[in-house]
A and B are shown apart, each in its own frame.
Chain A
Amino acid sequence: MGQEMIDRMGSAMHYDFCPWANKYVYWLKRPIGWVVLAFLASLLLGIYVSHQAYMAAGIIAAVGVIGAAWPWISMIGIRGELSWNPSRCEEGDTIDTTLTIANRWPWPAWGLVVQADDAISEQIDAPEQPISLSKVPAWTRSRFRWLCQPKARGVYPKRQVRLTTAFPFGIWSCSRMLHVSEPLIVWPRSVRLTDVPENSGTQHLGIGGVSQRVGDDGDWMGVRPYREGDSLRQVHWAQTARRDMLVVFERQTRSRQTASIAMDTLAAANCSSAESDWMLRILVSLANHLMHHSWNVRVHMGGRWQVWHSGNRDRLMDEIAAWDPHASHKVSEPNFERDSGYSIAISTATPGIATTRVHQGVCVFRTQAGGIMPPDIGDDSHTAWTICIEDHPEDALREAWRQLCQWGVASEAIGRS
């Protein structure tokens, strides 16, 4: 009861009763505002009350002058450059950050702080502390290195990186912009998946369809002379004896399975940034996993289907890293073709946001702040899994993918198509 009352009182004291007046009093949040106020008050007291107050005014003025002039003088000769190695990484990866500072003036600079985007402004050794430098000597070029773990996708820096100092009193700060030669691109984190969709039913599903291209599967297509590297098991001995030269036979090749993955951009634009980020992580995780298992992967990006393969993966990841969900809601809806293999849609489970746009025969992964719903087996419309982003979402995604792969519901969908 007492704690509740104290909490209520605390809430009341933190409540903003006059938001319209904030712009007139926010200067008091900065220490320099209090210094100026104290100086004016002391001056008035010295004029009207006692000359002793002039001494207080003098001391306060001295503190203010030193506190304002020292940072400015310190930063006059400072120039700096920020770089990362590597320049591309995934969320949570450890990268090496290098800050090179040149001090061209004959006095050192103390107590400098790096101001950058929140995702890249922390170092591993001190995660909740701003990145700061104790001293930059005079007439030197100094190099500072630290390890950083970017926490959110994006192309950095999103805002100007500055080097500031408020030494010695912390009442007024001066800053200098840092040059960034090459931006840091942080990709969405890819969740490691282990399962691959099982093939059951017809032979087609077991080995995939065959094509007339030359390979090592399927029926014979013809014979040809032996080429360096051919397997001796492919030697057609009868023809070899007839022609008195090595002849090998050619077989068909298995066609690769296809997966189409699309993200509900309208849902991403209307949900929270945490949910939209997880939608992207799911998309990237599935695309990378299927690509590594030699699937043909198509991803609906920028209003069109694009093939996801190792040649253009980096480019697509860069696009995803820089993707702004609020700028994409007018893009046309993806059209899942009937013979496009696995069809996967990524959406949100937030009520009222685009859950009815999922087409029949499409597997849906939804992000939500809730528990995983069991797959709706037997539902002919679609099969959906909900990933709770606040409750071990990686594990939830692996579990959902495992169920999808083992139950083979998508296989039935392909069979029908």
Chain B
Amino acid sequence: MNRNWGTLTLAILASLSILLLRLQGSSTPAWVIIETFVCIALSLMIRLWMNRQPSSWLESKSAGRFRTVFFATGVLVVLVPWVSKLIQTRGMGGNGEATELVWMGMLQYAALWIAAGATQSRHEWLSFLMSCFLTIFGLATSDREGMIQIVGPFAIIAAWWLMARYWSSIEGGFVASENIPLVRMRMTILLGLAGIAGVALWLATSVGRETVLLDGFMPTSGGKQRADASARQGVGDGDMLVAARDEAFTFGAVDTDLFLESEVPSMYDLVSEIYGEASNKKRKYARAISLDQQVQEMEREGTESKKNSREFSALRKPKDPSQSFRPEGTESRAVVQLIGRTPAWLRSESFDRFENGTWYQSPALDLAKRNMEPELKVIQDKPWMTVQSISSELAYPVRERLAVKVIGLESPRLLSPSWITHIHIDRIDQPDFFGWTQDGQLMMPNRDTVPRLTVVHQLTQIPSLHVLRDPHHPMCQLSHAPAAHGRSSDFLSHYLQIDASEKNAVQCARSWLEEQGLAGESATDWERVSASKSAVQSWNDSPR
């Protein structure tokens, strides 16, 4: 194996490992990919060109000029990641990459460039050391399992490169010529190496991740002491509120561990064989779901954290050595915490009557009967409840997902968008845990409040109102049910029947609609409602 190509191959593999790492922390992955592959392509071309030169070329004057140009170009290539970050932050308004990833990128390109133009053994050795460092760094700081697929071939090629380097340093002076089966010999050595590495891998994987992770390593790792906008993950003490593994910008309304000794009511209950003195705590009991026998006895009461993050002082304080390493709970004034696209409108109550400056709920209004009973549906091994179905003509087919974590809401109502279709609470697989209020709001019956820190996952649909603007579409009317226009017991009759004393108001409304061009048959009821809503929102105390 030509050692020059071996050095360049190692540099390319190391570049790929760092590329995976940089993709994790970059908001413009395409930029990073293009940058890396352009540098790899340049390195390959330079190596190809140099291999085609005669051996005497190295001593010629043109080689001297080439070295000067190569060195100057190499300096520019190494600075590319730093320049890219400048362009992304100042020119494009983005975040760019984390500083240490920029350094790794510079080192990555330096290793490639040196490998491409290596003419001496020490150049190859330097590139090899850089490649090894980059690979180890990428392996240690990336949690992508695909890194193993790069590190494995890298290790094999690196071992082969070492053996080839030593052999080529001495084969020129062999006294007695002999056919040595180099490939067979090196494969035997690599098999021995693989055996030892396999044992090491088995040892590494048999240890749980939770037992070895302590603190974030890099400044942008997050963790207990420092935080950065480019943080990729955060571990340590603190709030244990990191929800997503890939996106560090999300906080975690995670399904926390259950503390059944707490006084607050819980949706979960457990029968265990642990015995001891009876607890004198007064409990409030509500409907609960039974759990499996997986009990972990704790010496101290668990910690609850109601905040979505934790602030920390910029002033450095020595840590009290007597302070126990136990995360302290935090209080929050939040009612709920939302994970999802914002802004989001969550309905809590609805009112249908407005009289004398006050909104009322009609006593006759009973939307609970109109909505379907929740039905259990398993999605990705999780128990979801289907609570509503929306006409496919009125909504986009793709559902949005959001989660709401109850913090301080003392109500059995579940805050949700209007067009919620599915709901999920961890381990709740019985439909009768959910119900509807009279005003059509999703709630949890037979309890006073939804337990604190309950995370409610929801799937909703987004209205698509195009059909409502089509005068020829059967859904363009405000209510397509003929019954809505006739029966007084239906709530819609309250909207559609106007008393005779309000004829002036009706006339005024008709005149306004005519002025807006919405009185004719070409306008749909939705357009009229939309225009009225806009007019009300922009109402400026006009008598009209």
Contacts and interface: CB of A to CB of B under 8 A. Distances in A.
A138 interface: no
Contact of B204 (A55, A110, A146): A55
A237 interface: no
Interface in B474-496: none
A171 to B, nearest CB: 7
B161 to A, nearest CB: 9
A100 interface: no
Contact of B178 (A47, A134, A169): A134
Contacts of B193: 59, 62-63, 66
Contacts of B67: 6
Contact of B174 (A58, A132, A145): A132
A170 B170 CA distance: 10
A164 to B, nearest CB: 10
A49 B201 contact: no
B166 A168 contact: yes
**Residue of B172, B199, B207, B209 with highest tally of chain A CB at under 10 A:** B172
Interface in A1-50: 2-3, 6, 34, 38, 41-42, 45-50
Contacts of B180: 110, 134-135
Interface in A156-192: 166-171
Given A66-B192, A146-B175, A52 B68 contact: no
A49 B140 CA distance: 7
A47 B207 CA distance: 11
A41 B175 contact: no
Nearest to B144: A52
Interface residues of A, number: 51
B162 A170 contact: yes
Given A111-B170, A132-B174, A53 B139 contact: yes
Interface in A46-100: 46-59, 61-63, 65-67, 99
B100 interface: no
Nearest to B64: A3
B200 A58 contact: yes
Interface in B161-209: 162-163, 165-167, 169-178, 180, 185-186, 189, 192-193, 196-197, 199-201, 203-205, 207, 209
B217 A38 contact: no
A405 interface: no
B217 A49 contact: yes
Contacts of A51: 204-205, 207, 209, 212
Contacts of A38: 132-133, 136
Contact of A52 (B133, B147, B163, B176): B147
Interface string B352-378: 000000000000000000000000000
Interface string A110-135: 11010000000001001011111111
Nearest to A99: B175
Given A58-B204, A168-B186, A52 B139 contact: yes
B435 to A, nearest CB: 47
B394 interface: no
B204 A54 contact: yes
Nearest to A129: B173
Contact of A145 (B162, B175, B196): B175
B200 A55 contact: yes
A42 B213 CA distance: 15
Nearest to B179: A134
Contacts of A128: 172
B143 interface: yes
Contact of A134 (B165, B166, B171): B171
A53 B140 contact: yes
Contacts of A171: 162
**Residue of A51, A57, A166 with highest tally of chain B CB at under 10 A:** A51
B151 interface: yes
Interface in B193-246: 193, 196-197, 199-201, 203-205, 207, 209, 212-215, 217
**Residue of A49, A63, A128, A170 with highest tally of chain B CB at under 10 A:** A49
Contacts of A59: 155, 193, 196-197, 200
B141 interface: yes
B117 to A, nearest CB: 14
A53 B213 CA distance: 12
B201 A63 contact: no
Interface in A340-375: none
B157 to A, nearest CB: 12
**Residue of B151, B172, B176, B177 with highest tally of chain A CB at under 10 A:** B176
Nearest to B168: A170
A6 B136 contact: no
Contacts of B204: 46, 51-52, 54-55, 58
Nearest to B206: A51
Contacts of B177: 134
**Residue of A63, A65, A99 with highest tally of chain B CB at under 10 A:** A63
Nearest to A121: B173
B425 interface: no
A169 to B, nearest CB: 4
B525 to A, nearest CB: 60
A132 B175 contact: yes
A56 B196 CA distance: 11
B498 interface: no
Contacts of A99: 175
Contacts of A134: 171, 174, 176-178, 180
Contacts of A133: 174-176
B203 A54 contact: yes
A110 B185 contact: yes
A34 B158 CA distance: 14
B173 A126 contact: yes
Contacts of A3: 64, 68
Interface in B36-71: 64, 67-68, 71
B217 A45 contact: yes
Interface string B103-130: 0000000000000000000000000010
A46 B197 contact: no
B166 A6 contact: no
Contact of A135 (B129, B178, B189, B207): B178
A34 B174 contact: no
Interface string B150-162: 0100010001001
Nearest to B189: A168
Contacts of B178: 134-135
A178 to B, nearest CB: 14
Given A66-B196, A167-B167, 20 more contacts: A2-B68, A42-B140, A49-B217, A50-B140, A50-B142, A51-B207, A51-B209, A52-B142, A55-B148, A56-B151, A62-B193, A63-B159, A111-B166, A128-B172, A132-B173, A133-B176, A134-B177, A134-B180, A144-B175, A168-B185
6 contacts: A51-B212, A52-B147, A133-B175, A135-B180, A166-B166, A168-B163
> Nearest 4 pairs between A and B by C-beta?
A58-B200, A170-B166, A129-B173, A62-B196
